Structure 1
Amino acid sequence: MYNVINYLIILSALSIYFENRKTRSTYFWVLLILASINTVGIYKSIDNIQFQSNFSKGKNMFIVKETKNEADYSLVYTKSHKIFIRLVEKLRLGNGYKPFSNMSYEVTWINNEKAIIKFSNGQGHEVRGKILNFTETNGQYLNVLASLNGSWTDKNNKNNSITFDRGEITYKIGNKTYWYSSSMADEQGNYGSILYGSNNTPGIYILKNDDNTITVGYIQLKNNRKYIYSR
């Protein structure tokens, strides 16, 4: 975008006219050099990109980009002032493995204002997650897990439950029970938290909803199941 703006500035500068022929010629060559530098910059920028894709839902959109000069990160951008983009997240990667370039990722929109990115991370390709929130008013910072307590029941299946007890989380679904500790949590702002499992315990995310319910889903590729729980 900035390269395009540079071209527009250069084109606008061409409208300036100097009576002196020598000055006019010098001015033209300076603009030509600037245009050449800008062109080289565009080429290098394009050559540097390994992956780039847009993801949108309603009025909200974000871009994920992987580049050669950011070997340890995938970059997440959002729109800023309609025509610009702003870097909002740097997803740390392991061992230089680029999950998006290798198509080892998933993007799920929980609703119009929240999305979750799931991606394989480095050695062993363990799946990590990042929750993106597009809510305009986020309020004061809140530790999500610390704000939850007691037992919550699946609105569509009373046999499924999740219980929060002084930093310990018990998740019962179907005929299986999983245990987590808040020490395993990756707190992600006012809107959610991710609990990474181990061995046969799946990673899950927990989102607080505006209607005093919570959404629980999985940090697993090819598993977009999610459930709504209430007190």
Structure 2
Amino acid sequence: MMKSKKVIFMLATLLVLLVIFQVLVLGVATPKGYQLIYSWIFFAINYLIIILLCMIYTKNSFLKWSKWLIGLILFVANTTFFFYMGDVNLVVSKSQDQNEVILKEFNKMNTETVHLKRRGIIFGRETGSLMGSSSYKAIEEETYKIDWVSEDVAIVTYKVSEQGNLQQEFISRRSSTYSSYQYVAVGLMGRWYQKDNSDNYVQFDQGEIVYAKEGQLYYYTYEDTVQHGIFSIVVNGDDNKPSFSIVINADASYDEDGLIKKGGTITVSPITLDNIDGNIYERK
């Protein structure tokens, strides 16, 4: 036990500051969508609070035993919460331009994996979640991958079940001056050729999509598409035709008619966990 008044004052001050920090995390940051990137920090601070509480000296026998009892209760509660909420898989991926995506998966909780945007050193703002990830933990099972396209848009491809169903999440770190919603499929009207292989192309025309790949033609309709934000679209296939995604690259801009201007490029990527990169396409 610490008996020096100066030491007791310093310990009590530190204790109060740590308690205030925890209250701000729970009462201010969390409701606003911010959280600690490294969850263990919260529980480590709780353990430190318990230690400081037990170290502060008191002559009163009742207060002393009350202090130890409270410390024990807090220790058990913190350890229990740490067991469930502290078991986290954390993935930090950076592009060459140092844009960043942080994925946080809670192994022992039926909550969806979230993606965070760093704020400060230890905090992150929740920018979305991987839909369908509450039960199957793709990061734990290593059935996911992150691909950066345009250096400011990341595609997270992941399994949502043991059966191998794949889902994609598009995470954009690109600033936008668009004031209204952009329809990606409409802006892509025309034929887009793969830069290094003009035999491969994707064509949008009158509600129909044609995808030419390695000598094969695949046909889709706009009903097969799902838009993600204002830069990305997924074209869903089936057992007889592949699924792929399209991301409008940063060098593209819209004309007055809503079409992407010539000179802009897109990235077409297969929906797969295989180590296959997307390809750059341009309209000629």
Task: Find the aligned partners of 1:146 and 1:221 in 2 and give their Cα distance.
Answer: 28
Task: Find the aligned partners of 1:142 and 1:221 in 2 and give their Cα distance.
Answer: 29
Check if 1:166 corresponds to 2:206: yes
Q: Structure 2-normalised TM-score?
A: 0.66
Which of 149, 153, 162 matches 2:189? 149
Does the C-alpha gap of structure 1 residues 97 and 24 become closer, same or farther in structure 2, counting only changes over 3 Å?
A: closer
Task: Find the aligned partners of 1:203 and 1:93 in 2 and give their Cα distance.
Answer: 20
1:183 Cα deviation after fit: 1.0
Runs of 4+ in 1 over 6 A off after TM superposition: 14-19
Q: How does 1:40-189 map to 2 (within 5 A)?
A: 40-46=80-86, 49=87, 52-57=89-94, 58-70=98-110, 74-81=112-119, 82-87=121-126, 88-92=128-132, 97-122=136-161, 124-137=163-176, 139-140=178-179, 141-189=181-229
For the 8 Å contact 2:192–2:202, the answer to whether it is kept is yes
Does the C-alpha gap of structure 1 residues 112 and 21 become closer, same or farther in structure 2, counting only changes over 3 Å?
A: farther
Unaligned runs of at least 5 residues, structure 2: 1-38, 253-264
Check if 1:219 corresponds to 2:267: no
For the 8 Å contact 1:168–1:180, the answer to whether it is kept is yes
Aligned Cα RMSD in Å? Answer: 3.1
Give, as a single letter, the amino acid of the residue that structure 2 aligns with 1:188: H
1:113 Cα deviation after fit: 2.3
Larger Rg computed on CA atoms: 2
Task: Find the aligned partners of 1:150 and 1:221 in 2 and give their Cα distance.
Answer: 29
* Stretch moving more, 162-171 or 101-110: 101-110
Q: Secondary structure at the match of 2:43?
A: helix
Q: Secondary structure at the match of 2:73?
A: helix
Count of residues in correspondence between the two structures: 225
Task: Find the aligned partners of 2:136 and 2:82 in 1 and give their Cα distance.
Answer: 26
Residue identity (%):
27
Q: Structure 1-normalised TM-score?
A: 0.79
1:172-203 residue CA offsets vs partner (Å, 9 max, x unmatched):
23311111222111211012011111123111
1:53-112 residue CA offsets vs partner (Å, 9 max, x unmatched):
413113513124153431xx6412314433134442032159x55444333332222243
1:211 Cα deviation after fit: 1.0
Richer in helix (by share) = 2
Q: Secondary structure at the match of 1:91?
A: coil
1:8 Cα deviation after fit: 4.8
Richer in strand (by share) = 1
Task: Find the aligned partners of 2:46 and 2:177 in 1 and give their Cα distance.
Answer: 35
1:28 Cα deviation after fit: 5.0
Unaligned runs of at least 5 residues, structure 1: none
Task: Find the aligned partners of 1:79 and 1:31 in 2 and give their Cα distance.
Answer: 35
Task: Find the aligned partners of 1:229 and 1:192 in 2 and give their Cα distance.
Answer: 14
Query: 2:31 — aligned with what?
Result: none
For the 8 Å contact 1:143–1:189, the answer to whether it is kept is no
